[in-house]
Amino acid sequence: MLSTAITLAAETSEHGEPAVHPYVIGAIALALLLVLLAAVVSFGGGREHS
């Protein structure tokens, strides 16, 4: 039953442009990683190395 639904969905899907441009996904991922990097650097700022 599930495989039939997946097959029908695959057959009826159009092969056009993606709903979200890949560069948008990349920009979001880059921004998220930069925010996480800034958080890690600010969290460890001012501490001496052990």
Domain presence at residue 8 = no
pLDDT for position 27? 97
State the number of CA atoms in the 13 A half-sphere of 19 facing the CB: 2
Domain presence at residue 50 = yes
Burial 25-39 (b: 16+ CB within 10 A, else e): eeeeeeeeeeeeeee
* Ordered DSSP codes for 9-43: HHHHS--SS-SS-HHHHHHHHHHHHHHHHHHHHHH
- Threshold 0.85, pTM exceeds: no
User: What is the number of structural domains in the chain?
Assistant: 1
The string of pLDDT tens digits covering residues 16-48 is: 787 889 999 999 999 999 999 999 888 877 667
Q: List the domain range (segments joined by +) for residue 27.
A: 20-50
pLDDT for position 6? 66
Residue 7 has phi, psi (to 5 degrees) of -65, -45
pLDDT for position 46? 66
Domain presence at residue 12 = no
25: amino acid identity, one letter: I
